[in-house]
Amino acid sequence: MALLVAATAMAQRGVTTFGLQVKPVFALPYFQTLTTMERPHLTGQVELDGGMAFGMSVRIGLTDIISLETGIGQIQRRYTFGLANDTSGYREQGHVRYVGYEIPLMALAYMRTGERTYMNAALGFSADMYPSDVQQELEEGFIYMYRNRWVQAGVVANLGWEYRTAKSGIFHIGATFHRPFGDMAIADLTYWDVQRGFFPYRMRGALSGSYLTVDLRYYFHEDPSRVRQRRR
């Protein structure tokens, strides 16, 4: 039993571990999920409903308690947008998705809580990439969301708990907060005034891109003894 505990404790040193992750995105008011725009007799809004992030994660063990974590993932943010004209009584809502890709680089520290259970915390940065703009039509208007930059930096913080099996890999559950440096995108809402020959009225607002996720991860098993034998 003592040998098993020791092997588990040293499982991260010098070991590169690959994993898969799924992260549902939660929209909380604290993270500026609602953007409101106004003109005389005209109101527009864009609100983050949630989304889904998924991808791969790679851990590189530096010491018994510290690892370097990176990977690549895709995130799909879901937005509800709407237009309202107080004069004509027109009101309509639509839905749009905004897709991005992320490459994080974080320092991760472990704290042992049981024979095979660990708490971990990670902090670092992310390169956020947005491949294209998006547009969605309404009956009397449309939304156009365009990126501020093709590549943008952000800060990432993670807190989690994991169970390390002997030979079946690592099961992880946690939460991640992601905040870009600066606005992620600009949303243009356009209303077509049909009474004036479809004259366009435009409103503009910034989207922060901050979000909170619940993380579900699985890391494949890598035997530390085999790693040490390959390096001899």
Instruction: Specify the CATH number for the domain of residue 25.
Output: 2.40.160.20
Positive or negative CA dihedral for 7, 61, 180, 73? negative
Summary mean pLDDT of the chain: 87
CB-count burial class (<10 Å; 0-12, 13-18, 19+) for 12: buried
Instruction: Give me the domain span that covers residue 133.
Output: 2-231
Reported confidence tier of residue 201, pLDDT bands at 50, 70, 90: confident
Q: How many structural domains is the chain composed of?
A: 1
* pLDDT given for residue 6 in this prediction: 41
At 5, is the pLDDT very low, low, confident or very high (cuts 50, 70, 90)?
very low
Mean pLDDT lowest for which of 69-78, 105-114, 187-196, 218-227? 218-227
More reliable by pLDDT, 39 or 102: 102
Tokens found for residue 9 = 């404790």
pTM of the entire structure?
0.84
Share of the chain above pLDDT 70, in %: 87
Q: Is the pLDDT of residue 192 over 90?
A: no
Query: Rounded to 5 degrees, what angle do the CA atoms 37, 100, 50 make?
Result: 60
